[in-house]
Structure 1
Amino acid sequence: MAVYTEVTEADLNGLLADYDLGSLVSMQGIDGGIENTNYFVTLQQGDKTTEYVLTLFEELSQEELPFFVELCQWQADRGVDVPYAIRDRNGIGLKRLNNRPAVLQPRLRGGHVAQQDLTPAHCASAGKVLAQFHNAGRDFYLKRQAHRGVFWWRRESANIKSHLQQEDAELLMDEVSAFDQLREQPGDLPMGVIHGDLFHDNALFEGSDITALLDLYNAATAYFLYDLAIVANDWCTNADGSIDLAREQALLEAYAAVRPFTPDEQQAWPVLARTAAMRFWLSRLIPWLGIAQEMRSDDAPEMKLKDPDELKQILLNRRQFPTSLPA
């Protein structure tokens, strides 16, 4: 989360006039993240003060956002703790503020845990909650192609390869091809709504238990196992890109206890673990090299850069030392 679009108290009070949530006490911009503008908002109604989060969307359009608004409400209604758009007195959750789509959401309890402090217990909680998220979204009535999914990485890998050293270009194209081969004969790989970006900083904790999943704005219809691989590559890796087997085993076993793996998922895991690393390596490479992206609007803010080498090292490690799903 971050602040790209400035919001004044007057701006916010104009938005709050549509709600019956009380009067503004304070607002504070939230640092971190790369895609949206976020503020903590404190409101008072009578003797009660309540915390909220205001999000302004910097990349997603007003037309794209109903999928996410509906998904968050769907998951929340099924007991998965995610932020959801609070509806105003006219029943409208998706608003507009300072020329950006916007939502006002409850501020969920819990705090962040630094990556170096993640333990097998944290990872087990992630596995359990992610499986619950997948099960809850199996029959979600909307579908969405990931905006940084297979078609995106095919196009962007072709655009970027001439900017890379030959070794990196060959590595990238080899992984794009590996996923295409899997996709041609997927077998029994369950699909549904995935989170798509469940890095450790998109979860809140009390102790080692997850209290909420945040930032669902990369959610899409895709392989559940790919979503789990995204988590494993962030939550279960060491600084040098190697896999912490104890953390990964805890993640995978806890997930399987809620949603057991199919035999075809057992076979596909090494490929999808690499695909997940490739996707985030590519998405970091593009802004790192200063290459324009077709999907970004002209008025989108400058992205905060993250070192792509971290994901490259994870990818190389996944290729050299593939792991297995628990039987």
Structure 2
Amino acid sequence: MAVYTEVTAQDLNRLLADFDLGTLVAHKGIEGGIENTNYFVTLSDPDGLEQEYVLTLFEEFTLEEMPFFVELTSWLAERAVPVPAPFKDRDGIALKQLHGRPALLLPRFAGTHVHPEELSPAHCTSIGTALAKLHLAGSDFYLQRQAHRGVFWWRRESQQITSRLPEDEALLLSTEVRNFDTLRAAGLDLPMGVIHGDLFHDNALFSGTDVSAILDVYNAATAYLLYDLAIVANDWCVNADGTIDPERERALLRAYNAVRPFTDDERQVWPQLTRTAAMRFWLSRLIPWLGIAQATRQGGEMKLKDPAELKRILLHRIEQPSQLP
């Protein structure tokens, strides 16, 4: 979460005039994150009770791209998945615009983020269960979406970036792109459906060791379910040096498997998908880090994250592949 577009009280009051949620008390920008502008919004209802909300302005998506996310979060929330589904105005419309950006007014969930050094096997058990339930709840969702940073994106971007990389990194990147193409062509039994696509630890809230919310569902797409789990494993189970904590990963994988059992083919490709997931986020960090296609937004440039972290994870996944239960 971050603030790229300034929103005034006057802006908010104009938006809130369409809703029956109450009157504005205060709003505050939420720092951190990368892609969107977010504010905490406090409203007072007719009885004088204050409620907390989140306003999100989308800095990369057009209005035409947003219905998928509006429908998906509503679908998941109706099936008891703790994701923020947008509020609808008195005419039944959720999707709004502020300063030319798509905007949604969302619930603010209780719970706290867990620092990476504090992530435990219990946290990994909880998120493994929650992710499997999300995948099952989305299995019959009626819309599909191609990931905006999926296979076609990383094929294109990896070719454009290789001339800016040391020879060993260029080879590593191109090899991992080819490996995934080989996997896709193999015709294996790899269940597909709605994935979160970006479920890093800072996109979840906890009450104790129980997941209370899964946030930032705006990388969701139709893809291999196991790829989503690989993204989670590479973040929730990683040590500071890029190695994987086997105890946390076992807890994650066993909890997920208890809800949605793995296929034999998924067990076969798991080592490669952990590498693919690391490659994807390594690449997405490399591009702005090198100043290539630097994304800019009103109010400042895109926040940068060190790509070396994901390269270390990728190398570890190559050297010490793990197995599904």
Report the TM-score when normalising by structure 1.
0.97
Question: Shift of residue 297 of structure 1?
Answer: 8.2
Question: Shift of residue 64 of structure 1?
Answer: 0.5
Partner in structure 2 of residue 5 of structure 1: 5
Partner in structure 2 of residue 206 of structure 1: 207
Report the TM-score when normalising by structure 2.
0.98
Amino acid at match of 1:321: Q
Partner in structure 1 of residue 100 of structure 2: 99
Deviation beyond 3 Å, 4+ runs, structure 1 = 296-301
Question: Shift of residue 39 of structure 1?
Answer: 0.3
Instruction: State whether residues 59 and 297 of structure 1, in contact with CA within 8 Å, keep that contact through their aligned partners in structure 2.
Output: no
What secondary structure sits across from 1:211 in the alignment?
strand
Partner in structure 2 of residue 314 of structure 1: 313
Question: Shift of residue 150 of structure 1?
Answer: 0.1
What secondary structure sits across from 1:138 in the alignment?
coil
Alpha-carbon distance in structure 1 between the residues aligned to 2:299 and 2:58: 10
Instruction: State whether residues 194 and 223 of structure 2, in contact with CA within 8 Å, keep that contact through their aligned partners in structure 1.
Output: yes
Alpha-carbon distance in structure 1 between the residues aligned to 2:85 and 2:98: 17
Alpha-carbon distance in structure 2 between the residues aligned to 1:299 and 1:203: 27
Partner in structure 1 of residue 81 of structure 2: 80
Give deviations 1:7-48, integer Å, cap 9, x for gaps.
000010000000011111110100010000000001001231
Question: Shift of residue 4 of structure 1?
Answer: 0.3
Question: How many residue pairs get matched?
Answer: 324
What secondary structure sits across from 1:63 in the alignment?
helix
Partner in structure 2 of residue 132 of structure 1: 133
List aligned pairs for 1:1-327, cutoff 5 A. Answer: 1-45=1-45, 46-292=47-293, 302-326=301-325
What secondary structure sits across from 2:301 in the alignment?
coil
Instruction: State whether residues 5 and 297 of structure 2, in contact with CA within 8 Å, keep that contact through their aligned partners in structure 1.
Output: no
Change over 3 Å in CA distance of 1:151–1:321 after alignment to 2: same
Residue segments in structure 2 that go unaligned for 5+ positions in a row: none
Amino acid at match of 1:25: V
Question: Shift of residue 264 of structure 1?
Answer: 0.1
Amino acid at match of 1:270: P
**C-alpha RMSD of the superposition:** 1.2
Stretch of structure 1 that moved more, 307-316 or 91-100 = 91-100
Alpha-carbon distance in structure 2 between the residues aligned to 1:69 and 1:186: 32
Instruction: State whether residues 59 and 300 of structure 1, in contact with CA within 8 Å, keep that contact through their aligned partners in structure 2.
Output: no
Alpha-carbon distance in structure 2 between the residues aligned to 1:116 and 1:177: 34
Amino acid at match of 1:314: I
